[in-house]
Amino acid sequence: MTNQQPLRDRALAFRSLHVPGRPLVLPNAWDAMSARLTEDAGAAAVATTSAGLAWALGAADGDRLERGRALDAVARIAATVRVPVSADIESGYADDPTGVADTVRAVLAAGAVGVNIEDALYEEGSGPLRPVGEQAERIAAAREAADAQGVPLFVNARIDTFLRGTGDLDATLERAAAFRAAGADGIFVPGAVDPGTVKVLADGVDGPLNILVGPGAPPVAELAALGVARISTGSALAEAAHAVVRRAARELLDAGTYGALAGGLAYGELNALLAQGS
């Protein structure tokens, strides 16, 4: 095994950022430039969005992207920034726990020190969520693979009960307890933004709680006061960026004008951000 000390150090640094009441705020990135811009804005870490990354690679989100292509992109991001990187690996890019373990080893080789693993299912004819026991086995495999490498990978277990509308608070907390027992470090519950709900989750989850935010969600300070330890934008930044592309393209093609391009970052500024690390 090669020297893993730098990776261990980054993993420990990333873990230390998850503090209830003083949350880690993650404007999720999807390529090297968005990651570098995020770091330059002051982010303490970079986390990928699986949707944004898949779209950038010409694939749809939802377990449709091949593992190698996804982790090649993660490796480019990790090589571009100095802060710790966490990779959204969807369901683990694998059919079984052994495959999830293989993915985690590849994540570490790519230079990332955290993962998101979701419990949603996308196959036609399947249920909306993976059974609790089956998902717990996949999380345990991820934990064991990272531990065997000597790296305290932060395993963030995503629970899609609210996002899919398939469970209440009790079901969410039941899943959270099972996933924590299997080796997850944190719990991510996208779709839960109501302050009362977030408070119950923050109090009921034995570990750092991650909340997904976007327009209409409570501000960071309010979520911090509720006990949230991590705040993510998910695909929202990528969606906003792509909205600019659509508006500018339509204006150019329909009106022949360029107003939507106003306010863009200068070529020299963007180029310099990447030149610093090359």
Backbone angles phi, psi at 134, to 5 degrees: -65, -45
Residue 127: its pLDDT value, please? Answer: 83
Residues 149-161 have a mean pLDDT of: 98
CATH superfamily for domain 5-235: Phosphoenolpyruvate-binding domains (3.20.20.60)
**Which residue type does 31 have?**
D
- Sorted by where each begins, the domain ranges of the chain are 5-235
Instruction: Answer yes or no: is pLDDT of 125 > 80.
Output: no
d(CA 186, CA 10): 17
Taking all residues of the chain, what is their mean pLDDT, rounded to a whole number?
96
| Confidence label for 260 from pLDDT (cuts 50, 70 and 90) | very high
d(CA 270, CA 237): 17
d(CA 27, CA 41): 10
CB 126 within 8 A of CB 103: no
Residue 2: its pLDDT value, please? Answer: 58
* pTM given for the model: 0.96
CB 82 within 8 A of CB 39: yes
